[in-house]
Amino acid sequence: MNSDEIMQGESLLEAYARMGISKEVYEYGNRIWDSLQERFQDVDRIAEYNQLKVIRAMQECQVSEACLLGTTGYGYDDLGRDTLEEVYAKVFHTEDALVRPQITCGTHALALALMSNLRPGDELLSPVGKPYDTLEEVIGIRPSRGSLAEYGITYRQVDLLPEGGFDYDGIRKAVGPRTRLVTIQRSKGYQTRPTLSVDRIGELITFIKGIKPDVICMVDNCYGEFVETKEPSDVGADMVVGSLIKNPGGGLAPIGGYIAGKRECVENAAYRLTSPGLGKEVGASLGILKDFYQGLFLAPTVTASALKGAVFAANLFEGLGFPVVPSGSESRHDIIQAVTFGTAEGVIAFCQGIQAAAPVDSHVSPQPSDMPGYDAKVIMAAGAFVSGSSIELSADGPIRPPYAVYFQGGLTWPHAKAGILRALQSLADKGLADGILCRKNSK
């Protein structure tokens, strides 16, 4: 029995056929996979380094079985919670960290970091263009109750240059006496711009600090953790912010977010999250600390699986002529893969294919709908164990030009591969993938 067989004698081709994937799609996918072995070895080497970094941080902080227990009520003297925050600070090489289930999502974590470190009369600057859609209402770009704008905090934006570079002249002019905080979004959001590498983020921070040394530089680190061997906090970021149902939660964290950085910035966030005078002293962990610890432990290898899926998807769809960002050969700095189809039908078919490959709710067919925080209908595919978890195999996109879908996640490489092939099959069956025969035409 060769490696293409299982104990019952069923071949992988037959197993994929049971998943609704045709021979043509399967064989095309395998040709792409064969060409990526050296690239995947590089991903594994980064995961190995980051795994050792996480283990070492846990050992240095003396994580014990007692740390896996939880508290209720006020959460005073929560050993596991406090130790976990020490672990995060060591992993990110920062002075302090706030890691809490009371932070509900990535947008909440970012809003918390902004609202706690800005005051009326301050100005917020984005030197990398428009922020992610859900932050528009946080900032007040789109009017919303409780926005920064309502508290007298102004916003200024400098777009990236057409080729994706920083507009240094524009940034120099934009940094003024009221500029208190600079927000740098590492990932692309719902844009087809390049993701920023840690080194490029470091260059940008050095430039900004050269203009105004006391400005706070915050990096939206969502989707970027453990993709490289360095984090933005290693190159000068005062705060790095993210969600635990993305990379650092390893697929196990059921909720939560983190802010790691300078002690003053983190303490400000803690007082905003709880109450002035209480800060980090309160906040029960409610019995989910084991998932937080184990998720962080698994995060480097889970992120590697998602990264392999992104690289595979880039090469697969690029080979069929679809514009992809990043390209199949570019270096990777987050787990998101953008594929532009040019039509709403392509975005919908892709997402429906991802959903059909899910372990949960595979029978559901996602459709575009209005979503809080977005200015266009959005389609989201995520048959996940944790609702909305985008470290699990998922895809989403706004139904607006250029009609691009944003694919991410995959707790395991085999599931990422199966999901991507199922998405391609969905496109092929609707006649939207030139070069791949649909099943009805191949019979």
Residue 4 clears pLDDT 70, i.e. is over it? no
pLDDT-derived band of residue 192, with 50, 70 and 90 as boundaries? confident
- What pLDDT shows up at residue 371? 82
User: Mean pLDDT across the stretch 132-158?
Assistant: 96
Task: Map residue 427 onto helix, strand or coil.
Answer: helix
Range of 367's domain?
Answer: 12-48+297-442
Instruction: Establish if 283 belongs to a structural domain.
Output: yes
Instruction: Establish if 58 belongs to a structural domain.
Output: no
> 247 near 299, Cβ under 8 Å?
yes
Residue 281 clears pLDDT 60, i.e. is over it? yes
- What pLDDT shows up at residue 102? 98
Task: Tell me the CATH number at 243.
Answer: 3.40.640.10
Instruction: Establish if 316 belongs to a structural domain.
Output: yes
Domain boundary among 287, 317, 348: 287
Instruction: Establish if 59 belongs to a structural domain.
Output: no
Same domain, 385 and 307: yes
User: Mean pLDDT across the stretch 273-291?
Assistant: 97
> 33 near 316, Cβ under 8 Å?
no
- What pLDDT shows up at residue 441? 41
How many folded domains does the chain comprise?
A: 2
Domain boundary among 265, 287, 309: 287
- Tokens representing residue 366 in the block: 């996602």
Domain boundary among 259, 287, 315: 287
Same domain, 279 and 191: yes
Residue 9 clears pLDDT 90, i.e. is over it? no
Same domain, 191 and 125: yes
Amino acid letter, 82: D
Angstrom distance (rounded) from CA 310 to CA 409: 8
Same domain, 150 and 120: yes
- Tokens representing residue 357 in the block: 């490959």
Instruction: Establish if 199 belongs to a structural domain.
Output: yes
- What pLDDT shows up at residue 194? 86
Residue 184 clears pLDDT 60, i.e. is over it? yes
Instruction: Establish if 57 belongs to a structural domain.
Output: no
Angstrom distance (rounded) from CA 80 to CA 284: 10
Residue 435 clears pLDDT 80, i.e. is over it? no
The pTM for the full model equals 0.94
Instruction: Establish if 136 belongs to a structural domain.
Output: yes
Same domain, 319 and 209: no
pLDDT digits (tens, 9 = 90+) for 356-376: 999 999 999 999 999 877 778
> 251 near 294, Cβ under 8 Å?
no
Give backbone dihedrals phi and psi of 321, rounded to 5 degrees, phi first.
95, 5
Rg over alpha carbons for the chain, rounded to the nearest Å, is: 22
Same domain, 194 and 214: yes
pLDDT digits (tens, 9 = 90+) for 377-424: 999 998 999 999 999 999 999 999 999 999 999 999 999 999 999 999
Spell out a b/e string for 262-272, using b for 16 or more CB atoms within 10 Å of the CB, else e: beebbbbbbeb
Same domain, 314 and 256: no
Angstrom distance (rounded) from CA 167 to CA 65: 50
Residue 193 clears pLDDT 90, i.e. is over it? no
Residue 6 clears pLDDT 60, i.e. is over it? no
Same domain, 384 and 254: no
- Nearest-10 Cα torsion for 425, 430, 435, 440: 80
Same domain, 325 and 435: yes
- Tokens representing residue 324 in the block: 């992809």
Residue 7 clears pLDDT 70, i.e. is over it? no
- What pLDDT shows up at residue 440? 42
User: Mean pLDDT across the stretch 328-348?
Assistant: 96
Task: Tell me the CATH number at 343.
Answer: 3.90.1150.60
Instruction: Establish if 3 belongs to a structural domain.
Output: no
Angstrom distance (rounded) from CA 291 to CA 81: 12
Same domain, 271 and 306: no
Same domain, 248 and 333: no
Same domain, 270 and 156: yes
